[in-house]
């Protein structure tokens, strides 16, 4: 952690900047605590990605988009559609909860969401809240929460993009309003031949396809309130390579089918607001591979989830709000291949939070109780205080706890599950300062996250390997974000210093760079805009070897050809950097290390028409 003098210098430098900055705040509203708040009142590290950010950057998938955000490291096993690990502040993918319109997503067997299969054309906005958020959201939110809000395109929009590796992407989105009913929709088709993703096995192209459609219907009535129906569906496949298959095998293919469907009601009164959401979701895949006999097998992983949420907001007075709610969900994996000892479980939870704000001093306290059908109960909390040092400057300090329930694979996977596992637990502490002015924005966060009872494979008393609660980890570091506009140039810069280690062994966590830097600069000239992006990742420990640092440059450009037609360009890995991001295995005889291949320079050009 930083010492007091270092913190003092950082805060002093940030505050000294504020003396000359114009004092005009852009108000951004977020739902980090399940009700709308100004982003300056949340008392946590919050990042918001808008639809305009996606369209300006012309980025092609969600892993690439998240990779530019402070605190994130994305470790991808190849190109589009491949497994991409989401490391937020040094944690693993299973420690970040991903929601779609507030609906819990992902596989209950693997314990995380495959972000590669979430299409960008379905996304209107992304809210990222860092730190342990279990007091509001329950299990899985040890490192943070990513809430993806689906698309609400105001104008009918058609888009087509083509690029390297036979890439093609077609999108349509729009909204229709009839009296009190507003109906939005989005649909997309994406396909690429891809490239060979893994060294040492068959040198074949590993393609990807994603077909998706979504809708959002709202009905507003002064007496009844607001009724909503939302849905998002996607299906497709991703070809891949496996180090466990024969080197000549080309059968590895993962077909997926995912959906979320939700119905909601919300009603606001003079001093209170109530809402109910009922949701169904599925995370399904059929994975074809070669087994130890040399034959092809298909593993089916199918998670179906039912979820009911009730939330209430009570406005006690102008300075104090109370937010509370009940949450129930059921995970069902009965469609998964294999003989699991249990194939469903239910979780019931209740939470309450108090939020005080007298326009200078802020305080939040939230407590949640989760009752899991199998491992029992878990109580978590978030406590935070803040102080507006200035109209545009907010200081915050917080402590929160979190937990991660063992997955069905951890507990009951045939022949290797351990039903005696307990949840992984975390304690997160954070100190932060945010400055928000018309000319610039600054955010500094100093954080520590201690995680115990981490699940790892180890031999049991009989000598058989199975999951066990044996590891502890500490992730601590500093995040710095800076954004400003000078002479028409829009600068976005962020830096993360991170120390993530296994407390049992003192070794660094795999695939976690101690230093990461992201920088972008864009400029607009009339109807044309262009920008550069830079990503730096320092040396880091891989699975079998030390991975070297690398720096990537990307280029994005847009031209408004007419009022309705716009053209776009994106060049990734502009200087054709050859680098290794993720290692796979090592040849025990020769010592040769095999890596997942990374993309060469890639070009994407597109056109969009708005009616």
257 falls within a domain = no
Tell which phi-psi region holds residue 576, choosing left (phi > 0), alpha (psi between -120 and 50) or beta: left
390 falls within a domain = yes
Place of tokens 């600068």: 491
CA-wise closest residue to 422 among 384, 377, 480, 380: 377
Which is more confidently placed, 486 or 530? 530
Q: Where are the alpha helices (DSSP H) in 20-151?
A: 51-57, 62-66, 134-137
pLDDT at 28: 77
Q: Are 559 and 527 in contact (CB under 8 A)?
A: yes
202 falls within a domain = no
Tell which phi-psi region holds residue 153, choosing left (phi > 0), alpha (psi between -120 and 50) or beta: beta
Give the mean model confidence (pLDDT) for residues 11-16. Answer: 43
Q: Each residue of 494-515: pLDDT tens digit? A: 999 999 998 878 888 999 999 9
pLDDT at 212: 98
Counting residues of the chain whose pLDDT is more than 90, the rounded percentage is: 85
pLDDT at 575: 97
249 falls within a domain = no
Total structural domains in the chain?
A: 1
147 falls within a domain = yes
Q: Each residue of 218-249: pLDDT tens digit? A: 999 999 999 999 999 999 999 999 988 888 89
448 falls within a domain = yes
pTM score, whole prediction: 0.93
How many helices (H) does the chain have, and how many strands (E)? 5, 35
According to DSSP, residue 335 is labeled T
Can you give the residue range of the structural domain that contains 63?
4-161+300-559+575-605
Residue 157: give its domain's CATH number.
2.40.170.20
240 falls within a domain = no
Bridge partners (DSSP) of residue 435 are: 393, 442
593 falls within a domain = yes
């Amino acid at each position: 952690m930083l010492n007091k003098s270092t913190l003092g210098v950082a805060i002093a430098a940030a505050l000294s900047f504020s003396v000359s900055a114009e004092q005009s705040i852009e108000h951004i509203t977020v739902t980090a605590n399940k009700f709308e708040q100004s982003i300056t009142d949340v008392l946590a590290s919050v990042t918001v990605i808008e639809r305009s950010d996606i369209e300006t950057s012309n980025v092609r998938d969600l892993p690439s988009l998240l990779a530019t955000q402070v605190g994130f490291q994305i470790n991808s096993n190849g190109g589009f559609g491949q497994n991409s690990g989401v490391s937020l502040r040094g944690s693993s993918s299973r420690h970040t909860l991903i929601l779609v319109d507030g609906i819990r997503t992902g596989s209950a067997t693997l314990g995380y969401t495959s972000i590669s299969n979430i299409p960008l054309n379905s996304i209107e906005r992304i809210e990222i809240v860092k730190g342990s958020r279990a007091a509001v959201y329950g299990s899985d939110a040890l490192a943070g929460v990513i809430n993806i809000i689906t698309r609400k395109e105001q104008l009918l929009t058609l888009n087509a993009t083509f690029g390297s590796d036979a890439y093609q992407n077609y999108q349509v989105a729009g909204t229709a309003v009839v009296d009190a009913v507003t109906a939005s929709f989005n649909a997309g088709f994406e396909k690429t031949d891809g490239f060979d993703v893994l060294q040492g096995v068959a040198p074949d192209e590993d393609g990807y396809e994603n077909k998706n459609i979504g809708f959002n219907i709202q009905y507003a009535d002064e007496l009844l309130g607001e009724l909503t129906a939302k849905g998002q569906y996607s299906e497709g496949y991703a070809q891949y390579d496996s180090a466990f298959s024969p080197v000549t095998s080309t059968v590895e293919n993962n077909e997926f089918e995912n959906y979320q469907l939700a119905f909601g009601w919300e009603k606001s009164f003079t001093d209170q607001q109530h809402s109910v959401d009922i949701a169904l979701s599925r995370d399904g895949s059929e994975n074809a591979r070669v087994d130890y006999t040399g034959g092809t097998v298909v593993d089916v992983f199918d998670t179906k989830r039912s979820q009911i949420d009730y939330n209430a907001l009570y406005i006690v007075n102008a300075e104090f709000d109370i937010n509370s709610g009940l949450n129930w969900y059921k995970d069902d994996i009965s469609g998964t291949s294999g003989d699991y000892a249990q194939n469903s479980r239910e979780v019931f939870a209740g939470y309450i939070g108090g939020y005080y704000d007298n326009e200078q001093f802020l305080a939040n306290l939230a407590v949640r109780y989760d009752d899991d059908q199998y491992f029992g109960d878990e109580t978590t909390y978030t406590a935070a205080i803040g102080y507006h040092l200035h109209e545009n400057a907010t200081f915050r300090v917080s402590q929160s706890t979190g937990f991660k329930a063992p997955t069905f694979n951890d507990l009951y996977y045939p022949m290797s599950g351990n039903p005696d596992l307990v949840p992984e637990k975390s304690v997160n502490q954070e100190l932060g300062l945010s400055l928000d002015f018309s000319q610039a924005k600054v955010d500094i966060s100093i954080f520590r996250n201690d995680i115990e009872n981490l699940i790892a494979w180890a031999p049991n008393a009989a000598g058989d390997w199975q999951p066990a609660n044996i590891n502890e980890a500490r992730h601590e570091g500093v995040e710095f974000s800076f954004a400003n506009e000078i002479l028409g140039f829009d600068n976005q810069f962020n830096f993360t210093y991170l120390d993530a280690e296994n407390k049992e062994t003192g070794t660094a966590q795999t695939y976690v760079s101690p230093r990461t830097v992201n920088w972008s600069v864009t400029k607009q000239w009339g109807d044309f805009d262009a920008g550069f992006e830079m990503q730096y990742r320092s040396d880091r420990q891989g699975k079998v070897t030390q991975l070297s640092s690398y720096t990537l440059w990307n280029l994005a450009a847009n031209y408004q050809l007419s009022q309705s037609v716009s053209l776009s360009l994106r060049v990734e890995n502009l200087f054709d950097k050859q680098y290794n991001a993720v290692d796979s295995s090592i040849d025990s005889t020769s010592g040769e290390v095999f890596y997942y291949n990374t993309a060469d320079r890639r070009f994407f050009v597109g056109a969009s028409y708005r009616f």
